[in-house]
Amino acid sequence: MKKIIGLLLISLLLCACSDPKQEVHKYSFFAFGTIIELTISGVEKSLADQAAGELETDFERMHKDWHAWNPGPLVTINEHLARGEAAPVSEDLMPLLIKAKQLALISGGTFNPAIGGLLELWGYHGDDPPTRPPEKETIEDYLKHIPDLADVEISDGLVRTDNSSVQFDLGGFAKGYGIDRAIDHLKALGIENAIVNAGGDLKVIGQRYDRPWRIGIRNPRKAGVMASLDVNDGESVFTSGDYERYFIYEGKRYHHILDPRTGYPASDFISVTIITEDAALADAAATAVFVAGIKDWQLVADRMGLNKVMVVEKNGVIHMTPEMKPRMQMVVETINVQDR
């Protein structure tokens, strides 16, 4: 009897392996300053390999063209704007800038992709994190001409503004925009089940052959996850945290998500997670809600049309919208902020 069961098991396993629908293909490459992990299920390896190659090339190009400080198309636009000139925009960048403006407007300015100058002042326009904050006066001077996307006109292949402090930095949503594009590319190749994951920010289509795609949300203060969840077909999950890029100066943590209202790192939250379909929106919204803080986070989420939001306060308390709650299987109930 035992032998028969053993044989049955072996043949079942062989079946699973030889059925391409049940294979999971994994790839990884580097782009947008992080490792992009691509997982594809339900197709032959040759098609998955082809898709991975094409996506890697796409991501390389997006990373280069949309870079905020390495010479390239976006830097050229910023140079024009700094001189007070209208800047020609390529067909590739046009929809990105239009979307950036639209997201900035609905966020009420908490997501402000025109604060490249402020990020540069803070020393975030370089590969290494800065070591000390700028002088208070430097920030105050900057805030006198704080860029507002409402004053930026994007049309007829040109971007124009009277405010020469406008400097695009798309770091708050380019990854999301790129992931939307990657998923569209996979669909165009006939791939229906995949996950594109850029360092924990991700979008999925379909499912793993046997069950939904399952992911974890990183604990903002120690290795491991704070929650896990099943992600449905077409959903994106994006998290912004104060642990991605930061430095400690005189015992205080300074991170890379800046509040355009104060010029300083947003101070209420240590992590914000958003679930919604549009990855560009999810990415921008994670940044916007992070900046909005404890008083305004629900207001900003509403304005941006989001109902699945989780925020972690700097004291470790976790809050969730009613629609988010049933989605999260919590591993911890609060974050121990003493951990680092």
Round to whole Å and give the CA distance between 297 and 310.
Answer: 10
Q: How far is the CB of 336 from ligand ADP (least distance, A)?
A: 22
Q: Quick check: 268 binds ligand ADP (CB under 6 A)? A: no
Q: Candidates 166-174, 203-211, 219-227, 309-317 — which segment interacts with ligand ADP by CB under 6 A?
A: 166-174
Helix axes 174-188, 45-65, angle to 10 degrees: 150
Least distance CB 45 / ligand ADP (angstroms): 31
Using the rule CB under 5 A, give the single segment among 23-31, 166-174, 184-192, 258-266 that binds Mg ion: 166-174
40, 96, 281, 291: which one binds ligand ADP (CB under 6 A): 291
Q: Which stretch binds ligand ADP (CB under 6 A): 113-121, 157-165, 213-221, 325-333?
A: 113-121
142 neighbors 116 (Cβ within 8 angstroms) = no
Which listed residue (99, 221, 256, 308) binds ligand ADP by CB under 6 A?
Answer: 256
The answer to whether residue 119 forms part of the interface with ligand ADP (CB under 6 A) is: yes
Pick one of 171, 206, 263, 293: the residue that binds ligand ADP (CB under 6 A). 171
CB 32, CB 175: distance < 8 Å: yes
125 binds ligand ADP (CB under 6 A): no
**Binding at 119: pick from ligand ADP, Mg ion, none (beta carbon under 5-8 Å per type):** ligand ADP
Cα–Cα distance between 288 and 29 in angstroms, integer? 28
Strands (E), the chain: 24-31, 34-41, 87-88, 152-155, 158-161, 193-198, 201-205, 213-218, 225-231, 236-241, 246-249, 252-255, 269-276, 308-313, 318-320, 329-330
